[in-house]
Amino acid sequence: MEKLPRYSECFICGRDNPAGTDITFIRTEEGVACEYLAAPKHNGYRGIIHGGIISALLDECVGWAVSLRAGRMCVTGELTIRFRKSLPVSTKVTVKGFCDPEQKTRRLFRGYGHIEDEAGTVYAKAEGRFFPMSEEAQKPVFECLKMADAPEKAVTPADIWGEDCRK
Ligand X SMILES: CCCCCCCCCCCC(=O)SCCNC(=O)CCNC(=O)[C@H](O)C(C)(C)COP(=O)(O)OP(=O)(O)OC[C@H]1O[C@@H](n2cnc3c(N)ncnc32)[C@H](O)[C@@H]1OP(=O)(O)O
Would the CA dihedral through 93, 37, 33, 9 be positive or negative? positive
Cα–Cα distance between 32 and 58 in angstroms, integer? 11
Regarding 151 and contact with ligand X (CB under 6 A), the answer is: no
Q: Does 13 bind ligand X (CB under 6 A)?
A: yes
Using CB under 6 A, pick the residue from 8, 41, 75, 149 that binds ligand X: 75
User: Does 129 sit near ligand X (CB under 6 A)?
Assistant: yes
- In 3D, which of 87, 161, 18, 2 has the Cα closest to residue 10? 18
β strands within 31-148, DSSP E: 32-37, 74-83, 92-99, 109-117, 122-132, 145-147
Helix (H) or strand (E) holding 161: helix 157-161
User: How far is it, in rounded angstroms, from Cα 9 to Cα 60?
Assistant: 14
Among 52, 77, 88, 140, binds ligand X (CB under 6 A): 77
**Which residues 109-128 are close enough to bind ligand X by CB under 6 A?**
none
One residue of 59, 93, 114, 127 binding ligand X per CB under 6 A: 59
| Residue 121 DSSP symbol | -
**Does residue number 131 form part of the binding site for ligand X (CB under 6 A)?**
yes
The answer to the question of residue 60 lying near ligand X (CB under 6 A) is yes
* Shortest distance, position 89 Cβ to ligand X, whole Å: 24
Identify which range of 72-80, 84-92, 113-121, 151-159 contacts ligand X by CB under 6 A.
72-80
Residues making contact with ligand X (CB under 6 A): 7, 10, 13, 59-60, 63-64, 67, 73, 75-78, 108, 129, 131, 141, 145
